[in-house]
C-alpha cells in the first residue's frame, strides 16, 4: 500500500505549485474517478488505495471525499477482518487517521476493532478521543461508557474517597521525608497522589512510574495542574523495567507504593520490591540499633503486611463456584462430570485458573457465616529483601483451625493489614469500614463439606508464582483425618436442602476409580456466572415450560392444518422435527432442554469442546437422541451454518436470544438480532423472550456516589485531582447487588421501559415516566433490572436471589431533592442498547413559594 502521507504536507507554496502542476492534477482527477468506480464495483481495496493517493496529493478534497473515504475504509477493513488480515486492517486505520486525525467516526471505529482484538486500553483511548472531539456522538459515548471501567477502574474513585486511607499514607510519607528520605519513587502512581504527598512533604527529588497509559497521562495532567510538573518526573513504564541511571539518575531512599490487590500480592508487589531493592533503592538500614543517615539508606512504605484468613459458609459464593443442583430444568445433571469455576488454588499448575476471586463479604447477598476465628496466614517485611526472595521457597505451612460454628465449608476469605510504618496501618478486613474487598478462595472439591463445631480444619498456606495460596486440605474429626481433596463419598454432607441422588453418588464413585492424573484433567470449566446460571432452577424451569407450551401449540396447529387441508404440498410432515435455535452466549443448557421436548431438533451456540462434550453426555444420560442436538458454530466454516434452511419452507420454531449481560446491561445489538430472528421464524414461531420490561426505583445512595466519582468540593489531601479523574465518570454503574446496596428507597418499583422483541412497531426510543416519591430525600441513583417475559404468562426477573445477573444503576449527574408525594419526571431513552435516564421534579411551587 502506498504511503504518501508524509510528503508535501500543507505549505502554501507547495500547494500552489500542485494546483499549477497539470500532470499532478491529471493524476488526482483520474485517481478520484478510479476510486469512485472501484467503489461502485465493490472493489474496496483498490478504491481505498486511490483515495489515499488523491487525499495525500490534494488535501483540499478532504471535505468533499470524507464520507466516501470513510465508507471505503469501513468496507475494506471489514473484508480484511473477515480474512484475518489484522495487521493490514490496523495499517489502513493508521493511514486514515494520518489524513483525518480528528475524525471521531474513524477513531471510534478503530476503537471497536482494537476492542475486539483485546486491546482494551488502546480501544478505550480511541473512544475517549472521539468523545472529546464530539461529546454528543452517541456511538462513541456508548462505547466509552462500556470500557471506561477498564480504563480507569472504579476502585480509583473509592480509594480517593477513602479519607482515612489517604491521610494515613500522607502521614507515613511526611514522616519518612521529614526524617531524611529525600529521594522518592512512587511505584504505580495512579493519579500521582502519593508522589505529590512526597513532594509536598519536602522531598528533593520525586519520581513516579505507572504502567497503564491512561493512568500515566492522567497522572501527568494532575501533577501539572498542581504545579508540580517541574518537581515530579513521571515515567510511563513498569517499575521492573526501570534502570539507574537510564530512567532515574540514582538510587532513591524511599519507595512508596500501593500496588496491592485484595489478595495482597496480585499486583506483583513482591516482584516489584525485589527488583527495587536490587536496582532502584539504596541499601537497607542494617541493625535495629544502629542509627544511619536515612538519606543514605533505602526503605519502603508500606513497611510490611500481615495476612489473615477465615473459613466461611456462603451460599452466594457456593452457587458461583460449584454445581449445587442434581436436576436443572427437566434435566438430570448426574452425568455432567466435574464442572469447575476458573478459580482454584489447587496444586496443579494451570494458567487458566485464578487462585482467588474478590468480594466484599459484607455486601454479599444472603450474607456469610464465619466457621473459624480469623488466623494469621502470613507476615511479610517489605524492607527485608531476603525475606521477599525466600517467600516462594518457603515450606508449605499447615495450619490447624478449630471450627467455631458448624456449616458448609464454601471458601476461605482472606484480607490483610498493611503496616505503612510503625504507627499507621490500613486493614482490609470484612468488618472494617473501608472500600476494600476480600480475596475469596472457594473450595474446589465438587461438593460441599459440612464442618461440625468440634472439627479442626487443616489449611495449607504457600506462596507460588508470587501468589499467596490457601487450600483447605483436610478435616480432623474424632481423631480421624478426612481428606477434602479426595472423593467425597461418606464424608459428603451435601448442600443444605439439596436432595442427594443415588445416580449422582454412583457417578462420583465411578469418577474416583479413575487415576488421579485423569481426574485432574477431566473437568469442564465454566465461568462463575455460567455456574450461577446453571444453579438457577427457576430460569431453566421457565424456559422448559415456555418451550413445551410453544411446541404443543405448534403441534395442535399442524394437526389442524393437516386435517383441514389434506395433503397440501407445503404442509408439514408430521414427523418433521421442530427447529429451535439457542443463541445464548457461553454455556447454555437451553438447547438440550428444547431437544428434550420430543420431536425437536435444537441448535446450540456452545463453542468450547469440553462444554459440547458435557451437553452430549447429558443428552445421552437424559435419553435425548444425540442427533437432536447440533452445534451450529461447528458448521459455520463449511457453509452449513445456522442460516441453512431446513428442507421445506419451514424456518425456526423458536429462537432463544440472550438479552441481558451478567453486569446488568442489555446486550449490545439485541434489537438488531431480534429483527433478524423474527425474519427467520416459521408462522407461529417465537422469539424468546417476547419482551423485556425494564423496572427501576428511585434511591438515595451515597455508596453509589463514592464508586462513581470523587465526591465533594474539598481538594483531595489538598491536591486538585477530582476534575481530572472525574472525566472518567460513567453515568451507569454495573455489577450492582441491589439487595445489599446501602440506600434509602424513595419510590415504589416503577416500569421504566418496554422492549418488544416480537413486534418492532411496538418499540419507541424515548419515554417519559412519572413516579411519585414515597419519602423525602435526595435521589442520587436509579437502580434498574429486567423482567424477561418469555411469553404472556412466563417471565424471569433478573432481580431474583438466585439469578446469575447483577443489577445496574443510572447515577444522576446532580442529586435531586424530593419531598414525599412529589412527582418526579423521568426521561428514559434507549439508544442502541444503552439506557439513559434524566430526572426532574414537576414544577409545582413548594409551600414556601406559594
- What are the residues binding ligand 44T (CB under 6 A)? 155, 158-159, 187-188, 190, 209-212, 215, 238-240, 258-259, 261, 267-268, 272, 435-437
Q: Which residue is nearest to ligand 44T (CB)?
A: 188
Q: 289 CB contacts (<8 Å, ≥6 apart)?
A: none
Considering just the CA atoms, what is the radius of gyration of the chain in Å?
31
Q: How far is the CB of 718 from ligand 44T (least distance, A)?
A: 21
Q: Nearer to ligand 44T by C-beta: 159 or 254?
A: 159
- Give the integer Cα–Cα distance in Å for 179 and 628: 76
Q: How far is the CB of 74 from ligand 44T (least distance, A)?
A: 33
The DSSP code for 393 is G
Q: Nearer to ligand 44T by C-beta: 218 or 504?
A: 218
Return the closest-CA partner of residue 358 out of 443, 441, 430.
441
Secondary structure (3-state) at 366:
coil
Q: Nearer to ligand 44T by C-beta: 205 or 707?
A: 707
Residue with the three cell numbers 474487598: 437
Q: Nearer to ligand 44T by C-beta: 258 or 791?
A: 258
Q: Nearer to ligand 44T by C-beta: 208 or 697?
A: 208
Quickly count: other Cβ atoms within 10 Å of residue 4's Cβ: 14
Q: How far is the CB of 687 from ligand 44T (least distance, A)?
A: 38
Q: Nearer to ligand 44T by C-beta: 157 or 603?
A: 157
Burial class (CB in 10 A: 0-12, 13-18, 19+), 348: exposed
Cell matching residue 192: 500521582
Q: 168 CB contacts (<8 Å, ≥6 apart)?
A: 420, 424, 425, 426
Q: How far is the CB of 363 from ligand 44T (least distance, A)?
A: 11
Cell matching residue 219: 497522572
Q: Nearer to ligand 44T by C-beta: 155 or 558?
A: 155
Q: Nearer to ligand 44T by C-beta: 194 or 655?
A: 194
> What is the CB-side half-sphere exposure of residue 149 using CA atoms within 13 A?
12
Q: What are the angstrom distances between the C-alpha of 572 and each of 555, 567, 653, 679?
A: 10, 9, 12, 19
String of DSSP letters for 341-358 = -SB---SS--TT-BS-EE
Q: How far is the CB of 741 from ligand 44T (least distance, A)?
A: 15
Q: Nearer to ligand 44T by C-beta: 198 or 435?
A: 435
* Residue 733 · residue 781 · CB < 8 Å: yes
Q: Nearer to ligand 44T by C-beta: 125 or 188?
A: 188
Q: What are the angstrom distances between the C-alpha of 519 and each of 8, 140, 338?
A: 67, 48, 9
Q: How far is the CB of 158 from ligand 44T (least distance, A)?
A: 5
Q: Nearer to ligand 44T by C-beta: 261 or 354?
A: 261
Long-range contacts of the stretch 506-514 (C-beta < 8 A, 24+): 506/334, 507/334, 507/335, 508/446, 508/447, 511/337, 511/338, 511/487, 512/486, 512/487
Q: Nearer to ligand 44T by C-beta: 280 or 544?
A: 280
Q: Nearer to ligand 44T by C-beta: 215 or 451?
A: 215
String of DSSP letters for 12-55 = HHHHHHHHH-HHHHHHHHHHHHHHHHHHHTT-HHHHHHHHHHHH
Phi/psi at 347 (5° precision):
-75, -20
Phi/psi at 155 (5° precision):
-65, -20
List, in sequence order, every residue forming a beta bridge with 257; answer none if it has no partner: 187
Torsion of the alpha carbons at 261, 263, 265 and 269, rounded to the nearest 10: 30
- Give Cα 339 distance to the centre of its chain: 22
Q: Nearer to ligand 44T by C-beta: 417 or 611?
A: 417
Q: How far is the CB of 272 from ligand 44T (least distance, A)?
A: 4
- Give the integer Cα–Cα distance in Å for 302 and 419: 6
Q: How do beta strands 338-340 and 744-745 pair?
A: unpaired
Q: How far is the CB of 356 from ligand 44T (least distance, A)?
A: 13
Cell matching residue 438: 476480600
* Residue 532 · residue 489 · CB < 8 Å: no
Quickly count: other Cβ atoms within 10 Å of residue 515's Cβ: 7
- Give the integer Cα–Cα distance in Å for 191 and 394: 35
- Give the integer Cα–Cα distance in Å for 751 and 786: 9
Across 426-449, b (16+ Cβ under 10 Å) vs e yields bebbbeeebbbbbbbbbbbbbbbb
Q: How far is the CB of 424 from ligand 44T (least distance, A)?
A: 17
Q: Nearer to ligand 44T by C-beta: 213 or 635?
A: 213
Q: How far is the CB of 438 from ligand 44T (least distance, A)?
A: 10
Q: How far is the CB of 125 from ligand 44T (least distance, A)?
A: 15
Q: How far is the CB of 227 from ligand 44T (least distance, A)?
A: 23
Return the closest-CA partner of residue 150 out of 109, 111, 196, 110.
111
Q: Nearer to ligand 44T by C-beta: 93 or 356?
A: 356
Q: Nearer to ligand 44T by C-beta: 268 or 685?
A: 268
Q: How far is the CB of 155 from ligand 44T (least distance, A)?
A: 4
Q: How far is the CB of 249 from ligand 44T (least distance, A)?
A: 19
Per DSSP (E only), the strands in 563-714 are 578-582, 600-604, 629-631, 652-656, 681-688, 691-696, 699-700
Residue with the three cell numbers 515515567: 235
Q: How far is the CB of 385 from ligand 44T (least distance, A)?
A: 16
Q: How far is the CB of 188 from ligand 44T (least distance, A)?
A: 2
String of DSSP letters for 87-145 = HHHHHHHHHHHHH-TT-HHHHHHHHHHHHHTT-HHHHHHHHHHHHHH-TT-HHHHHHHH
Q: 567 CB contacts (<8 Å, ≥6 apart)?
A: none
Q: Nearer to ligand 44T by C-beta: 217 or 456?
A: 217
Q: How far is the CB of 154 from ligand 44T (least distance, A)?
A: 7
Q: How far is the CB of 739 from ligand 44T (least distance, A)?
A: 19
Amino acid at each position: 500500500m502506498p504511503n504518501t502521507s508524509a510528503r508535501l504536507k500543507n505549505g502554501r507554496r507547495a500547494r500552489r505549485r500542485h494546483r499549477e502542476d497539470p500532470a499532478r492534477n491529471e493524476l488526482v482527477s483520474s485517481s478520484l474517478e478510479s476510486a469512485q468506480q472501484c467503489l461502485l464495483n465493490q472493489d474496496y481495496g483498490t478504491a481505498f488505495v486511490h483515495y489515499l493517493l488523491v487525499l495525500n496529493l490534494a488535501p483540499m478534497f478532504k471535505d468533499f471525499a470524507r464520507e466516501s473515504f470513510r465508507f471505503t475504509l469501513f468496507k475494506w477493513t471489514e473484508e480484511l477482518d473477515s480474512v484475518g488480515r489484522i495487521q493490514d486492517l490496523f495499517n489502513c486505520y493508521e493511514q486514515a487517521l494520518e489524513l483525518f486525525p480528528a475524525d471521531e467516526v474513524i477513531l471510534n471505529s478503530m476503537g471497536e476493532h482494537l476492542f475486539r482484538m483485546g486491546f482494551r486500553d488502546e480501544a478505550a483511548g480511541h473512544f475517549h478521543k472521539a468523545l472529546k472531539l464530539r461529546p454528543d456522538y452517541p456511538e462513541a459515548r456508548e462505547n466509552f461508557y462500556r470500557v471506561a471501567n477498564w480504563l480507569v477502574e472504579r476502585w480509583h474513585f473509592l480509594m480517593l474517597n477513602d479519607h482515612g486511607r489517604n491521610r494515613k499514607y500522607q502521614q507515613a510519607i511526611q514522616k519518612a521525608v521529614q526524617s531524611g528520605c529525600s529521594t522518592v519513587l512512587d511505584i504505580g502512581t495512579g493519579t500521582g497522589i502519593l508522589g505529590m504527598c512526597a513532594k509536598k512533604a519536602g522531598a528533593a527529588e520525586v519520581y513516579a512510574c505507572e504502567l497503564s497509559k491512561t493512568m500515566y497521562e492522567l497522572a501527568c495532567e494532575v501533577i501539572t495542574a498542581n504545579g508540580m510538573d517541574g518537581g515530579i518526573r513521571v515515567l510511563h513504564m513498569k517499575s521492573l523495567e526501570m534502570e539507574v541511571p537510564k530512567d532515574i539518575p540514582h538510587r532513591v531512599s524511599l519507595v512508596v507504593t500501593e500496588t496491592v490487590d485484595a489478595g495482597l500480592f496480585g499486583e506483583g508487589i513482591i516482584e516489584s520490591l525485589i527488583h527495587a531493592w536490587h536496582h532502584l533503592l539504596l541499601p537497607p538500614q542494617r541493625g535495629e540499633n544502629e542509627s544511619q543517615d536515612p538519606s543514605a539508606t533505602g526503605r519502603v512504605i508500606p513497611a510490611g503486611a500481615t495476612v489473615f484468613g477465615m473459613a466461611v459458609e456462603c451460599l452466594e459464593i457456593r452457587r458461583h463456584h460449584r454445581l449445587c443442583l442434581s436436576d436443572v430444568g427437566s434435566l438430570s445433571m448426574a452425568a455432567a462430570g466435574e464442572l469447575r469455576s476458573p478459580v482454584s488454588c489447587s496444586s496443579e499448575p494451570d494458567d487458566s485458573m485464578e487462585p482467588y476471586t474478590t468480594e466484599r463479604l459484607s455486601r454479599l447477598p444472603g450474607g456469610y457465616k464465619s466457621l473459624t476465628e480469623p488466623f494469621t496466614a502470613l507476615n511479610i517485611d517489605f524492607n527485608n529483601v531476603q525475606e521477599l526472595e525466600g517467600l516462594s521457597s518457603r515450606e508449605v505451612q499447615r495450619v490447624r483451625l478449630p471450627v467455631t460454628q458448624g456449616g458448609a465449608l464454601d471458601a476461605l476469605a482472606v484480607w490483610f493489614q498493611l503496616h505503612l510504618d510503625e504507627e499507621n496501618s490500613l486493614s482490609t478486613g470484612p468488618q472494617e469500614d473501608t472500600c476494600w474487598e476480600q480475596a475469596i478462595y472457594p473450595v474446589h472439591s465438587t461438593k460441599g463439606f459440612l464442618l461440625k463445631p468440634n472439627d479442626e480444619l487443616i489449611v495449607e498456606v504457600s506462596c507460588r508464582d508470587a501468589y499467596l495460596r490457601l487450600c483447605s486440605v483436610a478435616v480432623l474429626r474424632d481423631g480421624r483425618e478426612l481428606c477434602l481433596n479426595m472423593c467425597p463419598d461418606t464424608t459428603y454432607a451435601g448442600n443444605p436442602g439439596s436432595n442427594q441422588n443415588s445416580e449422582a453418588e454412583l457417578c462420583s464413585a465411578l469418577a474416583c476409580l479413575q487415576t488421579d492424573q485423569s481426574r485432574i484433567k477431566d473437568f469442564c470449566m465454566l465461568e462463575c456466572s455460567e455456574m450461577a446460571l446453571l444453579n438457577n432452577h427457576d430460569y431453566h424451569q421457565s424456559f422448559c415450560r415456555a418451550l413445551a407450551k410453544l411446541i404443543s401449540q405448534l403441534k395442535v396447529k399442524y394437526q389442524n392444518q393437516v386435517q383441514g387441508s389434506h395433503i397440501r404440498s407445503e404442509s408439514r410432515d408430521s414427523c418433521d422435527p421442530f427447529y429451535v435455535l439457542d443463541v445464548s452466549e457461553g454455556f447454555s443448557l437451553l438447547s438440550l432442554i428444547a431437544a428434550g421436548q420430543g420431536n425437536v431438533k435444537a441448535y446450540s451456540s456452545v463453542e468450547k469442546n469440553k462444554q459440547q462434550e458435557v451437553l452430549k453426555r447429558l443428552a445421552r444420560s437424559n435419553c435425548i437422541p444425540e442427533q437432536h442436538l447440533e452445534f451450529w458454530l461447528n458448521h459455520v466454516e463449511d457453509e452449513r451454518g445456522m442460516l441453512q434452511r431446513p428442507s421445506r419452507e419451514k424456518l425456526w420454531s423458536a429462537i432463544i436470544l440472550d438479552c441481558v449481560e451478567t453486569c446488568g446491561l442489555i446486550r449490545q445489538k439485541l434489537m438488531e438480532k431480534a429483527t433478524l430472528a423474527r425474519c427467520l421464524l416459521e408462522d407461529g414461531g417465537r422469539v424468546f423472550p417476547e419482551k423485556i420490561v425494564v423496572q427501576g426505583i428511585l434511591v438515595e445512595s451515597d455508596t453509589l456516589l463514592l464508586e462513581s466519582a470523587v465526591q465533594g468540593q474539598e481538594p483531595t489531601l489538598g491536591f486538585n485531582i477530582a476534575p481530572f479523574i472525574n472525566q472518567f465518570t460513567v453515568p451507569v454503574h454495573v455489577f450492582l447487588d441491589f439487595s445489599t446496596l446501602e440506600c434509602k428507597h424513595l419510590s415504589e418499583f416503577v416500569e421504566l421501559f418496554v422492549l418488544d422483541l416480537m413486534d418492532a412497531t411496538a418499540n419507541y426510543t424515548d419515554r417519559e415516566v412519572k413516579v411519585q416519591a414515597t419519602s423525602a430525600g435526595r435521589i442520587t441513583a436509579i437502580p434498574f433490572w429486567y423482567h424477561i417475559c418469555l411469553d404472556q404468562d412466563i417471565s424471569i426477573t433478573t432481580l431474583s436471589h438466585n439469578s446469575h445477573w447483577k443489577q445496574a444503576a443510572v447515577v444522576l449527574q446532580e442529586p435531586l431533592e424530593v419531598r414525599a408525594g412529589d412527582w418526579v419526571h423521568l426521561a428514559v431513552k434507549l439508544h442502541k442498547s444503552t439506557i439513559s435516564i434524566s430526572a426532574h421534579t414537576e414544577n409545582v411551587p413548594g409551600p414556601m413559594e406559594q
